[in-house]
A and B are shown apart, each in its own frame.
Chain A
Amino acid sequence: MYLPRAWRALYLLPLAFMAAFYFYPLLSILQLSLLPGGQPDLSGFRALVERPYLRGVVWFTVWQAAVSTLLTLLLGLPAAYIFAHFEFPGKGLLRALTTIPFVMPTVVVGAAFTTLLGPRGVVNDLLQAALGLDRPPVNLLYTLWIILLAHVFYNATVVVRIVGDFWANLDPRLGEAAAVLGADRWRVLREVTLPLLLPPIAASSLLVFLFCFTSFGVILILGGPRFSTLEVEIYRQAVNYFNLPLAAVLSLVQLVITFAVMAAYTRLQARTSLPLNLRPRSSIAHRPANAREWLAVGAVITLLTAVLVAPLAALAVRSVTLGEGPPSLRFYQALTVNRSQDIFFVPPVLAIRNSLVFSAAATVLSLALGLISAYLLTAPGRAAGRLARWLDPILLLPLGTSAVTLGFGYIVALGRPPLNLRTSLALVPLAYTLIAMPFVVRTLLPALRRLDPGLREAAATLGASPTQVVREVDLPLIWRGLLVAAVFAFTISLGEFGATLLLYRPAYPTMSVVIYRALGQPGLVNYGQALAMSTLLMLVCLGSLLAIERFRVGGQGEF
């Protein structure tokens, strides 16, 4: 699809935006890491090699991501099999549940896991009541276990979606052909099914690895001061120690690794679409036929539901039952009170306002830029096609760049001329816009691709001006896509944590910042306020999810 000729100058807007708010900050990081103080200086890299602490950070980042990926596969693969092969009551609902992690902010998930497995967690309550103990028997907070569990929560559904969809569409006759040729069940699995599933398994593993590798909120909130990944260390070096050159070096290392994983993932993605003669899923899913199958389905479903639902349910319950006395909304009421009377400690409820305003601004901006980009990517003609092949991955890049790196890049690049926004409130919404844009573009692309050029031509021959064509033909046909993209952008912005933590101005904290701060402070009321606000944020995200599922056209966006 193409924009009316007179509007084509608009194409420059997203490109200029990417240049100023993505490439410029990243190049600034590159400059700072290689040329701190204007001279080539590799002391930062030397420190990375020589200081055992920093080596430990890199090593921990890698292995926790690897272990998280393995655990995720352990739950995700059986669930993918069950989803692909069986029809069972509640499957649609469970499928909807698997989208939850995609929209749930890390601060919410962090808060939720403390309410499930922390010292004041629901699990401890139940165990204490059941076993008559007077001290909480399990405390997973600030341990590796809770980090791994949160990563499984976030990523199991990535495996379920990618591998499960592929598996469901795998031609069952390939397995049958192998069986007729003499292969027993085990050999069918080893010779046919697994080799065919390898690309999606590898692709989803890489994606999970990437997410866990750049994990920030989960590590910071659930791991406490003992655990540091590259992402967390960038934040600490930049904000706590103000060692910007070292933070830049760490960012660079992080960027190189994430881009390498991204590149590998993209290649695998291409291989996943090998011509496999995929069939519609109805052809293989069937109701469990015997007790053994029912048992397997039941076990996997229970586990998956527990992992997805238990933390969030615990959060909601805890936000009204924390402390002594009957369930009440007192922590919600406390949100309006500025207890510390500090000039920078605004009443938490103001953070809600800030979040809403920032997110709304980012939504409008990312929608406008994303729409123009999507038009550009779907423009007809060979020159445009060549351009689109270049542009498509470039527009996706922010997706593979960690939020903390981005925030750090803004601190480095946008706090000085020529683009000095240090005191501007715009930094946060600009970062949100950049983070949301790839999602907007991916959501709008299928809608635009479905637009039949014949319709526009028909409208034009009937006398519609180019502007009228957009208004009368394009908009009515893509408004659902726009709506979904808007909800997506808004939800992502609302829950954004990594970049916000580096960029927010103390007088204008967002919900995610307030939750993080309250979780880190002692005292029941602080904790209760964090839970109350997390619950509110969670409810908004769940509402967004419903809206997205309701208005989404033609299944998934193009990711």
Chain B
Amino acid sequence: MAQLEVLQVSKAFDATPVLREVSFAVEAGELVCLLGPSGCGKTTLLRIVAGLEQPDSGQVRFEGQDLAGVPVHRRGFGLMFQDYALFPHKSVAENIAFGLRMAPKEQRLDRQSLQRRVAEMLTLVNLVGYEDRRVHELSGGEQQRVALARSLAPRPRLLMLDEPLGSLDRVLREELMLELRHILKRVGTTALYVTHDQQEAFAIADRVVILQRGRVEQVGAPAAVYRRPATPFVARFLGMQNLLPGRVVALTPQPTVATAVGTFACAGCAPEAAVGAVVTVVIRPDAAAPAASCADGDRRNCLEGTLTELSFRGSQVKIECAVGELGPRFTFDLPGAAAASLPAVGEPLRLRLDPDGVVLLPAGEENSRTDVQ
């Protein structure tokens, strides 16, 4: 049984639904990211798990126990707020000690053990010597570390983090992202992490739960979700821009679709669609490789067009390929070394597509919009 289970949770504010029958589970010691655009309900979900909001319906269970009726301060969870909510009238050490002092009498630490625990936490977050600082004297990154230490000090059964890197600048984010995962894994706590940044989620999480408009779109390990996005929304949210409608023309040996710009086979995908069904075809940006010619043999998975844009990024080259004068445009990331073998901008370009980079999705309402331009 999973440690934390969120079952069919729904919540509305002023008759506007924010969460609609959300369900997922988190295993003990696992780090799960709730990922989605702002307004998707992920923070509300976190507040419901923390007990700061009550769900309209559904259940939150922890180690099998229904948490309805358990007040916030008895849940034994930790929550790191977006802007940290550090107590401005307390020093760094007092902030970290707060949760320890709130423990039920029989579990409360004596002064020495409490100080030892605070020192331990400061060491963990690399802030030794900061005990007596006031919190408003700290930089953003330091405040973030204090907030983490404060949440971890009482050894929460579950740690929740609400956009913990959200208010930091980009360089600091990159740096702290890995450090955060490192600390969380070292402590071994079960963690639920909210972010709108997919790169952050991928870098940190064991698994991601992708939310949109209060619904779960997909759950899975980052690599699996990236390789096989389950819906057009997820594909777009993960930065995939090459979506186009297609029709299934064969299911064996590989599922194959016909589109306006050619026929594509996909590897390892199992569309729940019969031959003749309309689907959305996603071509991942990493699926392409320059090809000398498509004429020989297999014409499937070959894209012929014009190189319309090229932007060299060192280890990568980002290119845009237009098919036909007014036809769709595709964007791809090629290895930086491929730059040498590309034609000049404006010249014809041939690309061969890895079948593993082709994903077939059921045509939903999302499908009617052909966003490939």
Contact = CB atoms under 8 A, between A and B. Distances in A.
Contacts of B130: none
Given A179-B72, A179-B73, A276 B88 contact: yes
B48 to A, nearest CB: 13
Interface in A171-230: 171, 173-174, 176-184, 187, 191-192, 195-196
Contacts of B86: 177
Given A173-B81, A173-B83, A191-B98, A180 B50 contact: yes
Contacts of A179: 52, 71-73
Nearest to B89: A195
Interface of B: 50-52, 71-79, 81, 83, 85-89, 98-99, 102-104, 136, 150-151, 154
Contacts of A276: 88
A171 B71 CA distance: 20
Interface residues of A, number: 21
Interface in A244-280: 274-277
Nearest to A181: B99
A385 B98 CA distance: 42
Closest 6 CB pairs of A and B: A182-B102, A181-B99, A173-B85, A177-B85, A179-B72, A180-B79
Given A173-B83, A275-B136, A182 B73 contact: yes
Q: Which of A177, A179, A187 has the most CB of B within 10 A?
A: A177
A187 B74 CA distance: 13
Q: Is the interface of A mostly helix, strand, loop or mixed?
A: helix
A456 to B, nearest CB: 36
B73 A176 contact: no
Interface in A275-298: 275-277
B98 A275 contact: no
Given A196-B88, A277-B83, A176 B98 contact: no
Contacts of B52: 176, 179-180
B76 A274 contact: no
Interface in A343-380: none
Q: Does more than half of chain B's interface fall in helix, strand or loop, or is it mixed?
A: loop
Nearest to A180: B79
Interface of A: 171, 173-174, 176-184, 187, 191-192, 195-196, 274-277
Contacts of B77: 180
A182 B154 contact: yes
29 contacts: A174-B85, A174-B87, A176-B52, A176-B79, A177-B79, A177-B86, A178-B87, A179-B71, A180-B50, A180-B52, A180-B73, A180-B77, A180-B78, A181-B73, A181-B102, A181-B150, A181-B151, A182-B103, A182-B154, A183-B73, A183-B102, A184-B73, A187-B102, A195-B89, A196-B88, A274-B136, A275-B88, A276-B88, A277-B88
Nearest to A279: B83
A273 to B, nearest CB: 11
Given A187-B102, A191-B98, A180 B72 contact: yes
Contact of A178 (B75, B76, B98): B98
A177 to B, nearest CB: 4
| Most chain A CB atoms below 10 A, which of B76, B77, B78, B102 | B102
